[in-house]
């Protein structure tokens, strides 16, 4: 009885713990089938790296932290290894770094750890995940929503660079979020 009360009190005091299971939602896209997904929320500082904790791609959020950490340090090979298509991801990252320069490349990915930015939601469809980030613009520029797609493969999460119906559905959810059609 005491244990049950303790657990109930802890859950009442920690809404972030309850939210992790997520809420089932549906999105009706005009002319298409309904998309059913689970929406998870995370604490406001979930995107911040705890220096004493070793990162592993055991959740979509941890995979994103690890990916963004490698990219913010300019480590393309390590970042590409976290993709379902590592060779192609390396080429895309290399092209992007060449187009914006090494320092801007690092800055773009370091912003995911900035306290002014936040992870808005994790959208779940089967083994697929979409992380939706609100990234604040510099010096009063408007913020924008960015998405990162992951898939669970053999117990770890990888950047999902392979087209699939679930990934397309996640893209539609992100589009609806950007258009203000989802709360």
* Euclidean distance between CA atoms 125 and 165, whole angstroms: 10
The residue extents of the domains of the chain are 15-178
Q: Model-level pTM?
A: 0.85
Give every CB contact of residue 116 below 8 A, 6+ residues apart in sequence: 136
Judge whether 174 and 105 are in contact, CB under 8 Å: no
Judge whether 36 and 26 are in contact, CB under 8 Å: yes
pLDDT at 159 over 60: yes
pLDDT at 90 over 60: yes
Question: pLDDT digits over 91-131, tens only?
Answer: 999 999 999 999 999 999 999 999 999 999 999 999 999 99
CA angle 59, 159, 131 (to 5 degrees): 60
Judge whether 177 and 27 are in contact, CB under 8 Å: no
pLDDT at 43 over 90: yes
With helix as H, strand as E and coil as C, how does 114-156 read?
CCCCEEEEEEEECCEEEEEEEECCHHHCCCEEEEEEEEEECCE
């Amino acid at each position: 009885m005491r244990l049950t009360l303790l657990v109930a009190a802890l859950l009442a005091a920690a809404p972030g713990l309850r939210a992790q299971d997520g809420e089932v939602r549906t999105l009706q896209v005009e002319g298409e089938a309904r998309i059913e997904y689970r929406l998870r929320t995370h604490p406001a500082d979930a995107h911040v790296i705890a220096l004493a904790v070793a990162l592993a791609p055991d959740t979509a959020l941890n995979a994103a932290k690890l990916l963004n950490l490698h990219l913010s340090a300019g480590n393309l090979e390590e970042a590409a290894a976290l993709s379902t298509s590592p060779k192609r991801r390396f080429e895309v990252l290399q092209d992007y770094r060449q187009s914006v320069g090494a320092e801007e490349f690092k800055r773009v990915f370091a912003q995911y750890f900035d306290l002014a930015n936040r992870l808005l939601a994790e959208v779940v469809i089967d083994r697929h995940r979409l992380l939706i980030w609100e990234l604040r613009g510099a010096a009063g520029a408007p913020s924008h929503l960015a998405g990162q797609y992951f898939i669970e493969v053999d117990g770890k999460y990888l950047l999902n660079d392979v087209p699939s119906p679930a990934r397309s559905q996640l893209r539609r959810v992100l589009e609806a979020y950007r258009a203000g059609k989802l709360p």
